[in-house]
Structure 1
Amino acid sequence: MTDTSAPTAPSTSSAPGTDQLVTTEYSESIPGLVHVRLNRPRKLNSLTIDLLQQLISTAHALRRDRSVRVVILSGTEGNFSAGLDFADTLKSPPRMLSHFIPRPLRGTNTFQEAPWTWRRLPFPVIAAVEGYCFGGGVQIACGADFRFTSNDAHWSVLEAKWGLVPDMSGIMSLKQLLPIDEVKRLAMTGEIFSGERAAELGLARAVEDPLAAAEELARQIIERSPDSMALAKKLVDETWESGERRTFARERLRQARLLVSKNAEIARKAAQKKIPPKFRPRAVR
């Protein structure tokens, strides 16, 4: 949620649908890398329904692009996100309530799908956190596969301040990252803590330059087969809370597919010849 102690700027208004609240930039220096940025800098990149919808549609568009290898999520002008913009979201209660209704196939409403849609993508997603990362911002960051934060970033599961609970898929992602008592403490107190403390808790890795660290990890990932990266992500996510038999079965299923894949053959031949592999576009959907 947007924190009233954070600096604010005058409101801006545009006709519905005209704001580019989420920007997409394909990297020229790292082919296959896409930067996705929350883009409400005058409001600390706080979240509106329109912004959440654009996050979802951006993820869907990137999923269809087989050339995408890694996405880095960040915010514009030094802030990740100050959380939900209550003034904007509550100005039309009927509209807000309509976006509370879950999608039958996904099981998520708009607020939940905007962070969780990044978990569904068949390529890694890295969050680079600077400045404010409050409420829904934390939950979007936790929807990524990896998180880097500056030491002086400000984090908070801020919903408690507003008499609410983390509801943007937050409990699901937080319980995968933290012990149960820490999840309860953060959800009950709304404590504001530094990026350094976030790293101590296990929410992110603290670095001097989150974007640079995210790009370095992206370079390493892009050196590997896009199909093995996609199925590694899927395998971990789909078996995280599974028992041995289901996990072993999924391992066999995913590995069998990779063993006969063209990109695995390319990787093997490149390793034997000690040359950089030139992979085909991702075959995994």
Structure 2
Amino acid sequence: MNRTELASVLRRSRERIAPGDVGLPSGSRRRTPGLRREEVALLAGISVDYVVRLEQGRGPVPSPQVLGSLARALRFDAAGRDQLFHLAGVPPPGPGTIDMHVRPSVLRLLDRFADLPVVVMSAKGDVLAWNEMACALQGDWSAIPPHRRNINRLRFLPDPADPPMSGVGATAEEFAATAEQSVAMLRSAAARYPDDAGVRALIDDLRRGSALFVDLWNAGRVGGWRSHTKTVRHPVAGAIVLDCDTLHVPDVDQSLIVYSAAPGTPAAESLALVRVLGMQSWDGGTVRR
């Protein structure tokens, strides 16, 4: 582990990223260029003390999960991610594993959807990146610990400690259809990545903790994300019926999920309201922007 160079890379990378680049407020009283250590810790789902120790060349060897989270938080490309792993003395992810790294070109595409909610999802349903509109519509993704940012984990294994998020589905039938689709997606991912430890651990947790998941899993349906209509229950704007389109990034097997509405429709007006409200409606009126 090259602690000195690892610390230098982490500091330089943090200082080159503007808060707005990662969906965080810039504020008017920033005394340091780029991101604060607290913001890196929030995005990566680790403690501030851990970030401090890494930047000071102290502490234990980071796990692959921590290194992957830091690479995503700091917007490394694939070469930068691999360098981070090598500096830590840890082999980078190899072939046959689900790609959890969102490359900068996809993040730039995400940034272009300024007025539409968009999330980037891994092959097994991990929410890897999002824009401000996604948080305004769905809830604050950065407040959810990284290991819980998975649609099946959130759906089938709810945790009272999770922050408030918008519900999905206006009827029992719609909820059942989306649940079936997400499980079919996971079953397909498990077939494509039989050696991926993360997908095996996720399925084991879901099978132990949710009878509904077991029923849907045993049904044996497979398939990827399909474009469809989805009802999102926002705490202020109410139920919004949106088109939900999937843009696949084939070489990394990731998907951009884009929510939109036809111009002039009630749903488009509701999305405009959500954009104005931003995050003000979440957590009893706490402004998180």
TM over 0.5: no
TM score, norm. by length of structure 2? 0.28
TM-score, structure 1 as length reference: 0.28
